[in-house]
Copies of this chain bind each other. A is one copy, B any other.
Amino acid sequence: MTSPQRPDRPGLTDVARRAGVSVATASRALSGAGPVSAAARREVLAAAGELGYRPHPVARSLARGGGTRIVLAFRDARASILEDPFVARATAAVATVADTCGLGVSLRRLPLDGRAALDELAADRGVAAVVLAGHDRSALPAALHGRVATIGAAVPGVARADVDSAAGVGALAGHLYATGRRRIALVRGPRWLAAARAPLDAYVSVMRAAGLPARIVPGDFTARRGRAAASEILRRWPDTDAIVAVTDATALGVLQFLAARGVRVPADIALTGFDDIPLAAAVCPALSTATHPVEEVAAAAARAALSGRADDSVFPSRPVLRESA
């Protein structure tokens, strides 16, 4: 048979021949692994340089059995999740680190019940690692262990990268309390999202510590739902003087509703968001929120998944106080 394409690039064989060593030695010298004499290494490196040798990543990957892509999987109820700006930022960040490893990233949505999809991922021999966001606490396919990391979800034995959202929401709620608010309501995240639990708990803790009753209404991270939530809050607790939304989008929805009702922010009701989207600073009043290093979180998750180590890394959630609270 013949080769599929022969743009005549030098191979390891050529380098080895030129350096006067075997391909095995050349391989060891180039990949840095295994014992090689200094002299041999020098020869090989020189030969590679002169020949303009470039390793073939695909061949290497096949021989090593590693896979060539990182898949970013977002478990979400909405099919539109892949259009979310945060998803895009995370993807770009991972695609940038992937480039330095000769890897690629691909993006996929997982339905809420994604067992089968996860098994599929685990079975794909082209997948070097998977970064899973929006996951619940359920165990992952064993075949994925050592090459998976989650963003947000705590799964035993699996690497995790996250933002300290409990601290962030806690700080925001604490700020509201410190500035005299006592009837503070929360628009929480969706129930199916495990990571939405921490902010909720943080809010409850703050309220409990202050001896205040919790006022919690459901949300789903959208502005639309934020408007509905604001409506519900005003109806159930007309004397509310502060609202904590666990997402800027939600907060913006709340803001719209309050504005339409003639409620002044922050004079009548103080409001905080979460995530610090660009719009947060532009609306009127400018939204107080917490900012997060999304690209760093995503990059950390990718690195962890690639490394195979199951270590966690959590990044700070830094409050950004503007006009709304």
Give the distance to chain B from A289, nearest Cβ to Cβ, in Å.
15
A123 at the binding interface (Cβ < 8 Å): yes
A269-290 vs B, Cβ < 8 Å mask (1 yes, 0 no): 0000000011100111000000
* Identical chains bound together, number: 2
When distances are taken between beta carbons in the complex, the residues of chain B under 8 Å from A88 are: 85, 88-89, 91-92
Q: Are B91 and A95 in contact (CB under 8 A)?
A: yes
When distances are taken between beta carbons in the complex, the residues of chain B under 8 Å from A277 are: 278
A114 at the binding interface (Cβ < 8 Å): no
Q: Cα distance A131–B91 when bound, in Å?
A: 16
User: How big is the A interface, by class?
Assistant: 35 or more
When distances are taken between beta carbons in the complex, the residues of chain B under 8 Å from A108 are: 96, 99
When A68-B69, A69-B103, A279-B278 are in contact, do A126 and B91 touch as well, CB less than 8 Å?
A: no
A178 at the binding interface (Cβ < 8 Å): no
Q: Are A98 and B106 in contact (CB under 8 A)?
A: yes
Q: Are B5 and A57 in contact (CB under 8 A)?
A: no
When A85-B85, A91-B91, A126-B56 are in contact, do A106 and B103 touch as well, CB less than 8 Å?
A: yes
